[in-house]
Amino acid sequence: MPERRPRPNAEIVARGEAELGIQLISEIVLVQGAELLGPLPAELQAMTVISAGIVSAASGPNAAKMLFKFLTSPAAAAVIKATGMEPGW
């Protein structure tokens, strides 16, 4: 039997197979035909924190630090927000 991959809720809604779906905002905004209605109330939210670190034996720690500096910059914040996420700094 072939393996079935689950489809994102936003795709199911966009195809008209469901009227409402709940999913990460960053995944909803990527689906053409899906409309983001807004976030769930704060008391129902479960925030996902994404972190970065550098291994002490890294061969290119300065490059990693530069990347992290860029990812926490105002220029990156605009892209982060446009993709449905919130910068946490």
4-53: pLDDT as tens digits: 777 889 999 999 999 999 999 999 999 999 999 999 998 998 888 888 89
Residue 1 pLDDT > 70: no
Nearest residue to 29 via CA among 38, 20, 42: 38
pLDDT at residue number 8: 86
What pLDDT band is residue 89 in, cutting at 50, 70 and 90?
low
Distance CA 51, CA 49 (A): 6
Distance CA 44, CA 39 (A): 9
Distance CA 27, CA 82 (A): 12
Look at the pTM and tell me if it is higher than 0.75: no
pLDDT at residue number 49: 85
